[in-house]
């Protein structure tokens, strides 16, 4: 193997990305945060039962392992991360909406956390397999 070929497969122009940003957004508040929660049951965080690092108050850095099983999708998210976010940001019985559902990880997490789920996915095959995956999730 030439030196050039060797370099091409062993060196890289970039470091491995080790964090991913999560964007939080919400509709404008209705009164104080507490008024808003009383009325809409949203806008406050419930830190009592975080899935990740359950012994500590949930923070803005969420260490989580990449999922081993990809369910036929390139960017499958870890179900534990989604369960964690669902528990923090929604009460039981709420409806979780994922407009970019992919392999259905958020639907699986929503079911596990006793929330309803509505998802949309542009890839029809992926949508079907997500639906199957969510149906059998416990
Ligand atoms: C980052 S992936 C979501 C991965 C998902 N969280 C999971 O764990 O599998 C984004 C998904 O959005 C879908 N998508 C892209 N544009 C869309 C659109 N306009 N409407 C619905 N889904 C769309 C893509 O097909 C892709 O599966």
**Ligand 1 contact via 103 beta carbon (within 6 Å):** yes
Q: Which residue has the tokens 């639907």?
A: 107
Q: Which residues, including other chains, have CB under 8 Å from residue 17's CB and lie 6 or more apart?
A: none
Domains of the chain: 28-135 (3.40.50.150)
- Ligand 1 lined by 75 (C-beta under 6 Å): yes
Could you tell me the pTM of the whole model? 0.89
Q: Which atom of ligand 1 is nearest to the CA of 98?
A: 6
Provide the pLDDT for residue 88.
95
d(CA 138, CA 136): 6
* Per-residue confidence (pLDDT) for residue 55, from 0 to 100: 92
Per-residue pLDDT of the chain (138 residues), as tens digits, is 787 887 777 888 889 888 999 999 989 999 999 999 999 988 999 999 999 999 999 999 999 998 889 999 999 999 999 999 999 999 999 999 999 999 999 999 999 999 999 999 999 999 999 999 999 997
Question: Distance between CA atoms of 41 and 2, rounded to whole angstroms?
Answer: 63
Q: Which residue has the CA at smallest separation from atom 4 of ligand 1?
A: 102
């Amino acid at each position: 193997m030439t030196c050039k070929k060797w370099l091409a497969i062993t060196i890289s122009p970039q470091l491995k990305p080790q964090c991913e940003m999560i964007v939080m957004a919400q509709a404008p508040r209705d009164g104080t945060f507490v008024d808003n929660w009383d009325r809409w049951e949203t806008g406050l965080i419930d830190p009592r039962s975080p899935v990740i690092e359950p012994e500590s108050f949930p923070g803005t850095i969420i260490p989580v392992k990449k999922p081993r099983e990809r369910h036929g999708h390139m960017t499958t998210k870890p179900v534990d991360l989604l369960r964690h976010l669902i528990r923090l940001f929604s009460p039981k019985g709420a409806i979780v909406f994922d407009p970019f559902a992919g392999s259905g990880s958020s639907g699986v997490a929503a079911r596990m956390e006793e929330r309803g789920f509505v998802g949309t996915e542009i890839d029809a095959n992926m949508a079907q397999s997500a639906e199957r995956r969510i149906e059998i999730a416990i």
